[in-house]
Amino acid sequence: MPLIRPARTALLLSIALCSLPATAALDLTRADENLSALVKMRCSIDPKENVVTWLKSTIFAQLPAKAPSAILGFGGYNICRMGPLEDGSWRFISRELSFYRDLASGRLLDTWANPVTGKTNTVIHVANDPVNNLFGSKRHHGSPNIYPWTGGGGDLLMTFNAPLTDAHPLPPKDFPEESSAGVYAGSEHFMFLTPRASIDDTSVHNSPASYGWTRIGPWPPWIKMGTHEGSLLYIAQGPKLGGSAELPADMQALIEAKYPEVASAPAAQS
């Protein structure tokens, strides 16, 4: 093997270092860099890129004076894009599908034997289109929002807590089996984890991430438990994927057959 003289070695090393991606640490106390980290973690700073996140969940029934009991499997995905707005904020545009599964076999369900009522219910899966949001806007805060990043061991951690309350779309007097109450109340809690080095790397548009999701909410209408006391607890986790081709095969087949429009994020904010 030919030897490389020291002067040439230094030159090659200099060229190599110049070609490395920039990795100056973002200052997460600055609103713009804090928001940039959030966009890269949750989706992508490339407005044309469709980003898929996937989750796998177990659903527990929470009944008065009883320990939570696992009753259903649940799995789904979100496909999103994010784009910058003139005021410095970013709009989040997405669609999502989630499917109920048999807890033991994992198969997608058409019907389900409800262990609480003893009845068999027709399963209605979840299709949310669109699911949009706005990040970094001054409209509601008066000043830029600083998102609560924490970190350690080379990773950054972000949590979101979303209390939910609204008029129930199905009035109990008209839908006694389907409506849990006059008010829909619950909460969702997200925890995202992403590599700090990827967030700081300016050549990376879409930082790898994994996340956990917890939801507490009323009985969904298709379970037909009306105002029966109790609620559902969803415990889920999942990663970003390289695309919808990495979803479970049965989900891909169902999306292709029944939900082809959810193969990409919406073209514009709705």
Amino acid 4: pLDDT: 36
pLDDT band at residue 12, thresholds of 50, 70 and 90?
very low
Q: Where do the domains of the chain lie?
A: 26-263
pLDDT of residue 214: 98
Q: Read out DSSP for the chain?
A: -----HHHHHHHHHHHHHHSPP-PPP-TTSHHHHHHHHHHHHS-SSTT--EEEEEEEEEEEE-TTS--EEEEEEEEEEEEEEEE-TTS-EEEEEEEEEEEE-TTT-PBPSEEE-TTT--EEE---EEE----EEES-STTTSS------EEETTEEEEEEEEEEEEE-SS-TTT-TTT---SEEEEEEEEEEEEEHHHHH-TT-SS---EEEEEEEEPPPGGG--TT-S-EEEEEEEEEEESSGGGS-HHHHHHHHHH-GGGGS--SS--
Q: Bigger pLDDT: 267 or 66?
A: 66
Per-residue pLDDT at 139: 63
Give residues with Cβ within 8 angstroms of 242, minimum separation 6. Answer: 52
Residue 144: its pLDDT value, please? 72
Residue 118 has pLDDT above 90, yes or no: yes
Task: Give the residue-averaged pLDDT of 164-170.
Answer: 91
pLDDT at site 51: 97
At 267, is the pLDDT very low, low, confident or very high (cuts 50, 70, 90)? confident
Of 19-23, 109-113, 153-157, the poorest mean pLDDT is in 19-23
pLDDT at 268: 72
pLDDT at 39 over 60: yes
Higher pLDDT: 169 or 74? It is 74
pLDDT of residue 17: 35
Tens-place pLDDT, residues 93-107: 999 999 999 999 999
Q: Which pLDDT tens digit goes with each residue over 150-160?
A: 988 899 999 99
Among the listed ranges 40-49, 105-114, 166-175, which one has the minimum average pLDDT value?
Answer: 166-175
pLDDT tens sequence across 174-220:
999 999 988 989 999 999 999 999 999 999 999 999 999 999 999 99
Encode pLDDT of 60-79 as tens digits.
999 999 999 999 999 999 99
Tell whether the model's pLDDT for residue 24 goes beyond 90: no
Q: What is the reported pTM?
A: 0.86
pLDDT in tens, 235-257: 999 999 999 999 999 999 999 99
Mean pLDDT of the chain: 89
